[in-house]
């Protein structure tokens, strides 16, 4: 379903005298439908950057990202035009970042319900019902449903973030430390929900801060080496 070949991203660190680093550096993997790939390795090794290149938040410096899309057939996510990329984000690829970024003054339940409405023929009522069910399962108290997530704790925001991505059952789900600010009960619920999603056919790539959570989910784990600097420019 996804085949990443020699993915390299270079960053120039202007604050560090123009030092150039590569993270990831010539990273390759392939992913079959229904598989859960875990990414592990030291901080700064390029794990988040891999997810951002697949979701096209970043453009890779080198490499190819061959993806068999439902919408367009085989495409290279590194080359795909912006409109088609947005279509894929709307219909099949989802990304759960570490932090919730939302439009201000939209209530939590609306954020989750609209993620579903945007992508399905669900009625307003049906979408709100499903959103409420999911938020409640994730331990968000119903009194918070109609309030704005900007006032929520980090863990509550993270659960809203997860809810809005899993509610529409994406075909490919990219997870960047989705349980990092959750207590063990909430984290266990997230693991259950992700398992159900995988059993229903979703393919996932996940970064997890703790190995135990990753072991519960991942079929395979890729270990990243420490980042290396490629040049050190001097004046």
Ligand X SMILES: Nc1ncnc2c1ncn2[C@@H]1O[C@H](COP(=O)(O)OP(=O)(O)O)[C@@H](O)[C@H]1O
Judged by CB under 5 A, the stretch of 41-49, 59-67, 113-121, 181-189 that binds Mg ion is 41-49
198: helix, strand or coil:
helix
138 φ, ψ (degrees, to nearest 5): -80, 5
Q: Pick from 38, 46, 60, 170: which binds ligand X (CB under 6 A)? A: 46
> Could you tell me which residues are beta bridge partners of residue 69?
73
Q: Pick from 47, 56, 130, 159: which binds ligand X (CB under 6 A)? A: 47
6 φ, ψ (degrees, to nearest 5): 50, 45
Judged by CB under 6 A, the stretch of 46-54, 143-151, 155-163, 212-220 that binds ligand X is 46-54
Site for ligand X in 214-233 (CB under 6 A): 227
Site for Mg ion in 42-81 (CB under 5 A): 48
Judged by CB under 6 A, the stretch of 40-48, 113-121, 188-196, 197-205 that binds ligand X is 40-48
Looking from the CA of 69 toward its CB, the CA atoms found within 13 Å total 21
218: helix, strand or coil:
coil
Judged by CB under 6 A, the stretch of 38-46, 84-92, 131-139, 149-157 that binds ligand X is 38-46
Q: And the tokens for 208? A: 């997890």
By a kind-dependent CB cut-off of 5 to 8 A, residue 181 interacts, out of ligand X, Mg ion, none, with none
Alpha-carbon distance of 178 to 46, in angstroms, equals 17
Q: And the tokens for 3? A: 């085949």
Centroid of chain to Cα 81: 20
Q: Pick from 4, 23, 53, 128: which binds ligand X (CB under 6 A)? A: 23
By a kind-dependent CB cut-off of 5 to 8 A, residue 45 interacts, out of ligand X, Mg ion, none, with ligand X
Nearest by Cα to 53 from 103, 18, 2? 2
Binding site for Mg ion (CB under 5 A): 48
Binding site for ligand X (CB under 6 A): 11, 21, 23, 43-49, 227
């Amino acid at each position: 379903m996804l085949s990443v070949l020699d993915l390299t991203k270079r960053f120039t660190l202007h604050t560090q005298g123009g030092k150039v680093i590569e993270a990831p550096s010539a990273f390759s993997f392939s992913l079959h439908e229904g598989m859960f790939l875990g990414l592990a390795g030291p901080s700064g090794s390029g794990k988040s950057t891999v997810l951002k290149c697949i979701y096209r938040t970043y453009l890779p410096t080198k490499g190819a990202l061959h993806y068999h899309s439902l919408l367009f057939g085989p495409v290279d996510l590194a080359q795909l035009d912006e409109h088609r990329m947005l279509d894929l984000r709307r219909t099949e690829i989802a990304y759960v970042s570490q932090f919730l970024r939302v439009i201000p003054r939209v209530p939590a339940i609306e954020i989750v319900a609209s993620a579903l409405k945007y992508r399905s023929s669900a009625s307003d009522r049906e979408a709100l019902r499903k959103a409420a069910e999911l938020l409640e399962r994730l331990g968000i108290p119903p009194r918070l449903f109609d309030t704005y997530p900007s006032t929520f704790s980090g863990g509550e925001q993270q659960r809203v973030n997860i809810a809005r991505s899993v509610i529409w059952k994406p075909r490919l789900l990219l997870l960047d430390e989705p349980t990092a600010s959750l207590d063990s009960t909430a984290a266990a619920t997230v693991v259950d929900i992700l398992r159900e999603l995988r059993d229903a056919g979703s393919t996932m790539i996940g970064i997890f801060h703790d190995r135990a959570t990753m072991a519960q989910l991942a079929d395979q784990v890729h270990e990243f080496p420490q980042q290396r600097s490629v040049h050190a420019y001097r004046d």
